[in-house]
Amino acid sequence: MADQGTYVEQGKAFDRDMNYVPDRITRDARRPEHGPVEGELWPVEPGRYRLVAAKACPWANRSIIVRSLLGLEDVISLGLPGPTHDARSWTFDLDPGGRDPVLGIERLQEAYLKRFPDYPRGITVPAVVEESTGLLVTNDFPWITHDLFHEWREFHRADAPDLWPVDLREEMEDVMKRVFTEVNNGVYRCGFAGSQEAYDAAYERLFTALDWLEERLGTRRYLMGAAITEADVRLFTTLARFDPVYHGHFKCNRQKLTEMPNLWGYARDLFQTPGFGDTIDFEQIKQHYYVVHRDINPSGIVPAGPDPAVWLEPHGRG
What pTM did the predictor assign? 0.95
Helix axes 261-271, 230-241, angle to 10 degrees: 110
Rounded Cα–Cα distance for residues 217 and 280 (Å): 22
The yes-or-no verdict on residue 131 having pLDDT over 90 is yes
Question: Do 173 and 141 have their domain in common?
Answer: no
Question: 225 lies in a domain?
Answer: yes
Is 188 marked active-site? yes
Cα 108 to Cα 51, 64, 113, 127, 142: the distances in Å are: 11, 17, 9, 9, 19
Question: Do 132 and 174 have their domain in common?
Answer: no
Confidence of residue 19 (pLDDT cuts 50, 70, 90): confident
Out of 57, 246, 289, 290, pick the active-site residue.
57
Strand 136-138 relative to strand 41-43, pairing? unpaired
Question: 253 lies in a domain?
Answer: yes
pLDDT of residue 86: 85
Say if residues 138 and 24 touch (Cβ distance below 8 Å): yes
- Percent of the chain beyond pLDDT 90? 91
Listed residues 104, 122, 155: the one ending a domain: 155
Q: What is the CATH number of the domain that holds 135?
A: 3.40.30.10
For residue range 90-103, list pLDDT tens digits in order: 999 999 999 999 99
For residue range 47-82, list pLDDT tens digits in order: 999 999 999 999 999 999 999 999 999 999 999 999
Listed residues 88, 120, 155: the one ending a domain: 155
The yes-or-no verdict on residue 4 having pLDDT over 60 is no
Question: Do 99 and 206 have their domain in common?
Answer: no
Question: 14 lies in a domain?
Answer: no
Total domains present in the chain = 2
Q: What is the CATH number of the domain that holds 181?
A: 1.20.1050.10
For residue range 103-128, list pLDDT tens digits in order: 999 999 999 999 999 999 999 999 99
Question: Do 90 and 122 have their domain in common?
Answer: yes
Is 252 marked active-site? no
Question: Do 33 and 104 have their domain in common?
Answer: yes
pLDDT of residue 177: 98
Question: Do 70 and 113 have their domain in common?
Answer: yes
Question: Do 213 and 117 have their domain in common?
Answer: no
Question: Do 215 and 273 have their domain in common?
Answer: yes
pLDDT of residue 36: 77
Q: What is the residue range of 106's domain?
A: 24-155
Question: Do 245 and 135 have their domain in common?
Answer: no
Query: Which of 125, 97, 152, 163 shows the shortest CA–CA distance to 20?
Result: 125
Question: 311 lies in a domain?
Answer: no
Question: Do 180 and 128 have their domain in common?
Answer: no
Out of 188, 199, 203, 266, pick the active-site residue.
188
Question: Do 120 and 181 have their domain in common?
Answer: no
Question: Do 109 and 182 have their domain in common?
Answer: no
pLDDT of residue 8: 66
Question: 189 lies in a domain?
Answer: yes
